[in-house]
Amino acid sequence: MSRIINTPLTDEVTCNLHAGDSVLINGIIYTGRDAAHKRLTELLDRGEKLPFELNGQVIYYVGPCPAKPGNVIGSAGPTTSCRMDVYAPVLMEMGLKGMIGKGSRSKDVIDSIVRNKCVYFAAVGGAGAMLAEAIKEAEVVAFADLGPEAIFKLKVENFPAIVIADTEGKDLYKIGRSKYQR
């Protein structure tokens, strides 16, 4: 059974999520891939304001396809998360509480997840059309020149994800592998 969670996330919510939990996310999430993350950290380095408030927010690592007529968004499957590992700890320090992607994260990111009471979720790769059905509104809020890699503000309803790394540092990928190692 999936747990229903709402954004923005709080420490109370993130600390009650555990590696392996299935969730349905409701509320606002933001998109961002490597080019957008690089720009966000450059803004922070220059002491400039970010295009959206990070506190309690979730970033989905996706570059959605263009919407077909009558649709809010095109296919919206996750991209490989490790490409954001160099930027993620800085954003978590600024209040980011959740990240959605696919694949393993570095030790530095897992340590930052624990330190900042954040959560890393996975969305099913290859299921972008199904995931897009949970997206009810989409608007570009920053870096429009990046096209599909711009930052979108998404309103989601029952967006399915699985907790991979939790606030205690448990990592579902490592837990799963350990069951079959000799």
Q: What is the per-residue pLDDT for 181?
A: 72
**Mean pLDDT of the 98-124 span:** 97
| CA angle, 104 then 55 then 136, to 5° | 75
Domain edges within the chain? 3-178
Of the chain, the percentage scoring pLDDT greater than 70 comes to 99
> pLDDT band for position 182 (50/70/90)?
low
Report field, pTM of the whole predicted structure over 0.75: yes
**Model pLDDT for residues 28-53, shown as the tens digit of each residue:** 999 999 999 999 999 999 999 999 99
Position of tokens 């490989």?
Answer: 80
Going 11 to 15 to 16 to 17, the CA torsion angle's sign is: positive
d(CA 30, CA 9): 13
**Mean pLDDT of the 10-27 span:** 98
Q: Which of these, 151, 133, 132, lies nearest to 54 by C-alpha position?
A: 151
Q: What is the per-residue pLDDT for 175?
A: 87
What integer best gives the mean pLDDT of the chain? 95
Exposure of 147 in the CB half-sphere (CA atoms within 13 A): 2
d(CA 45, CA 86): 14
**Model pLDDT for residues 127-166, shown as the tens digit of each residue:** 899 999 999 999 999 999 999 999 999 999 999 999 999 9
Q: What is the per-residue pLDDT for 176?
A: 81
Residues involved in catalysis: 37
Strand runs (DSSP E) across 43-101, as ranges? 58-60, 98-101
User: Residue 120's CB: how many other CB atoms inside 10 A?
Assistant: 24
**Mean pLDDT of the 14-20 span:** 97
**β-pairing verdict for 151-165 and 135-142:** antiparallel
Fold of the domain spanning 3-178: fumarase (3.20.130)
**Model pLDDT for residues 73-92, shown as the tens digit of each residue:** 999 999 999 999 999 999 99
Strand runs (DSSP E) across the chain, as ranges? 3-6, 22-31, 58-60, 98-101, 119-122, 135-142, 151-165
d(CA 96, CA 107): 18
